[in-house]
A and B are shown apart, each in its own frame.
Chain A
Amino acid sequence: MKTNRSVSIPWHMIFIGIIIILTFPIIFAVGISFKPLEDAYNNALNFIPTQPTLENYETFFNSLNVVKIVSNTFIIATTVTLFKVFTSFLAAYAFVFFDFKGKNMLYFLLISTIFIPFSVTMIPNYLMISDLGLADSVWGVILPQLADAVGILLLRQSMKTIPISLIEVARLDNLGHPRIMKNIVLPLVKPAVTSTGIWFFILSWNEYVWPVLILKTVDHYTLPLALQMYISSEGGTNFTVAMAVAVITMIIPLTLYLLFQKYIIGTFASSGIK
């Protein structure tokens, strides 16, 4: 059924308005990051760099060990992603293709952790990480992030679409579970694995709450923590530098999203559907 134009045009305007509100801050930050501080202050409404400069980026690179900070962020995000995808894949496989005692209860138990606020686990985790001597270290940031059931939920969702007969045939051919996982299941759920992995990477790249508790030395910081150093409640006197750091922080997640947009949206769209 066709919709009347007098109805549809205002709605399109609303959508465009929302998109402008949502994306404008990003464009604004990119523009400001190439402006000299004085210019940005005096012409606050004009975000187009009329006298483009790299000085904000230079200031950031000169004041902190940026290479170290970016590589810390990258190492943490990659390790967390690989580990979470691997363990979630195994768990999802167990939940979809096996019947075992306590299956439903165990699934319920794991999935309910999605709803546990981090304040409930933060003190013991902090104490444990300190006792293990991992405070202020990469592993101290990584370990507690691994307890995340979202991957199990998403991959189970995807594996459930595989016809069980396919697996049964493989079993009759005496194929072991590792081979079935690698040669049959993995290729079939590859889009879900890819988007789950990218999502985990983005999540860990952006993680702030836990690293801020664990990391003390500036050289051990991740990008969001480095960015935080440039914030004060008034917007700060260094806000053009802050914009440059913000651009560096968001460039990787944005690139990944633009490259894998279709996968990511597809997988997340299904996460709310049981």
Chain B
Amino acid sequence: MQAAKPAKIKFTADHWKAYGLLIPSLIIFILFMFWPFMYTIYLSFFDWNMVKPTKEFVGLQNYKEVLTDPTTYKVFGNTLLYIGLLLIINLIIPYILAFVLDIVLKRFNHLYKGAIFLPSVISLVVGSILFTWLLNPVSGPAAIILGWFGIDMPIWSKLDGWVIVVLSLITSWKVFGYNFIVLYASVNGISREVIEAARLDGVPLWKIFFHLVLPMSSATGIYVFIITIVQGLQYVFTPIKVITQGGPNYASSNAIYHAYHEAFVLYRTGHSAALSILTMAIFILLLILEFKFVERGIHYEN
């Protein structure tokens, strides 16, 4: 609640104790998050292969090489395609379904939520192996069913475009349920009276969705938008690594997998670091968006 601001008498005398409580977290985060972050920036200015005893300072050379390499653009293009697909499947569709379940159907919501969330607790390595078999283009069940209709299943793991579609679907299998319950809770938190009044006045559902529900749940909407992009791209890493290793010819690689590939397959730490920093810069833009809209609040839900 933002409205009333009671005179909060917190523990005035012992504020310093808060730092003590934060020390364990801070040590961990400095060691394994902030320091590595800085060190990656540092590495992005050096030519190194992780083994050589000396690193050679090359200034902006790594950035220049990364930005002139056609593979980088291919990988960033793939990344955009992944983002687009992940957002359609894991933001737009669950948003509409959350609205329908909460406002229109209202029944079986516990059952539906429970079942839809289920795959979110399962490893994506499991997901990858299940779908590699289910979608096996020759002998898998999906191929057989398509065969009845005379349709040949594309050999998706070898085809540009298709490979990204399938890997996005596998990842969505895990992400969808989590996003759905978060969005559902937010839609569910909107005051009933306004919506019921609008429905009694005969306002069409799509108008209720766009003019009432969407603005009133926008903070969560933006949260899910960002989490889908940032974590979605990291989740895709697993099926890429397990199924395609970025292939064929980088057609399924994304910004995060490519950074891994540069560092741990090609041993070009400078390129990998520069690529990660560039990716991070794009994510920071998203972060600013998050804190501008969500934390400051264009609309607060409870």
Contact: A231 with B243, CB < 8 Å?
A: yes
Query: Does B73 interact with chain A (Cβ within 8 Å)?
Result: no
For residues 1 through 31 of chain A, which have their beta carbon under 8 Å from a beta carbon of chain B? 1, 3, 7-8, 11-12, 14-15, 18-19, 22-23, 25-26, 28-29
B66 in contact (CB, < 8 A): no
Contact B126 A124 (CB under 8 A): no
Q: State which residues 176-204 of B face A: CB under 8 Å.
A: 176-178, 181-186, 188-189, 196, 199-200
CA distance A105 to B224 in the complex (A): 23
Residues from chain A with Cβ under 8 Å of B18 in the complex: 94-95, 98, 100, 103
8 Å CB contact of B287 from A18, A44, A112, A274: A112
Stretch at the interface among A54-62, A63-71, A142-150, A186-194: A142-150
Q: Check if B114 sits within 8 Å of A125, measured CB to CB.
A: no
Quick one: CB contact mask for B119-134 with A, threshold 8 Å, 1 for yes? 1011111111111111
A90 in the interface, Cβ–Cβ < 8 Å?
A: yes
Cα of A254 to Cα of B234 in the assembled complex, Å: 22
Say whether B144 contacts A44, CB under 8 Å: yes
Q: Is the interface of B mostly helix, strand, loop or mixed?
A: helix
**A246 and B25 in contact, given A26-B119, A147-B33, A177-B17 (Cβ under 8 angstroms):** no
Interface size on A, residues (CB 8 A): 101
Query: Which residues A254-274 have CB closer than 8 A to chain B?
Result: 254, 256-257, 261, 264-265, 268-274
Residues of the B chain whose Cβ atoms lie less than 8 Å from the Cβ of A11:
100, 104-105
Q: Are B260 and A124 in contact (CB under 8 A)?
A: no
Check B220 against A273 for contact (C-beta < 8 Å).
yes
Could you list 24 examples of A-B contacts with CB < 8 Å? Answer: A12-B108, A22-B118, A28-B141, A32-B133, A87-B25, A87-B28, A91-B21, A91-B24, A93-B21, A117-B283, A120-B277, A121-B37, A122-B260, A147-B29, A164-B10, A202-B121, A223-B123, A233-B244, A234-B132, A235-B132, A261-B117, A264-B117, A272-B223, A274-B301
Asked whether A48 is an interface residue with its Cβ less than 8 Å from the other chain, the reply is: no
B123→A208 contact, CB < 8 A? yes
The answer to whether A44 and B15 have CB atoms under 8 Å apart is no
Does A206 belong to the interface (CB within 8 Å)?
yes
CA gap between A250 and B138 in the complex, in Å: 27
Set of chain B residues within 8 Å of A125, measured between Cβ atoms = 32, 36
A101 to B145, CA, bound (A): 64
Name B283's contact: one of A116, A124, A177, A213 (CB within 8 Å).
A116
A70 and B35 CA atoms in complex are apart in Å by 32
Please give 13 more A-B residue pairs, beta carbons under 8 A apart, in addition to A164-B6, A212-B241: A28-B141, A29-B126, A44-B140, A97-B10, A110-B25, A121-B36, A123-B39, A164-B8, A177-B21, A209-B238, A230-B129, A269-B185, A273-B302
Q: Is the CB of A257 within 8 A of B118?
A: yes
Known A-B contacts A117-B276, A143-B32, A147-B32; the reply to A233 vs B122 at CB < 8 A is no
- Considering only CB atoms, which chain B residue lies closest to A99 in the complex? B10
B22 at the interface (CB under 8 A from A): yes
Separation in Å of the A217 CB from the closest CB of chain B?
A: 17
Select which of A14, A41, A98, A122 is within 8 A of B17 by beta carbon: A98
**Can you name the residue of chain B whose Cβ is closest to the Cβ of A101?**
B15
**B295 touches which of A29, A230, A256, A274 (Cβ 8 Å):** A274
Asked if residues A274 and B219 are in contact (CB atoms below 8 Å), the reply is: yes
Q: Is A196 an interface residue (CB 8 A)?
A: no
Taken together as a complex, chains A and B put the C-alpha atoms of A265 and B185 apart, in Å, by 9
For A3, the chain B residues whose CB sits under 8 A away are 104-106
Give the contacting residue for A268; candidates B132, B182, B196; CB below 8 A. Answer: B182
User: CB within 8 A of A124: which of B35, B108, B118, B181?
Assistant: B35
* Closest beta carbon of chain A to B111's beta carbon, Å: 9
Tell me if B230 counts as interface (CB < 8 A to partner A).
Answer: yes
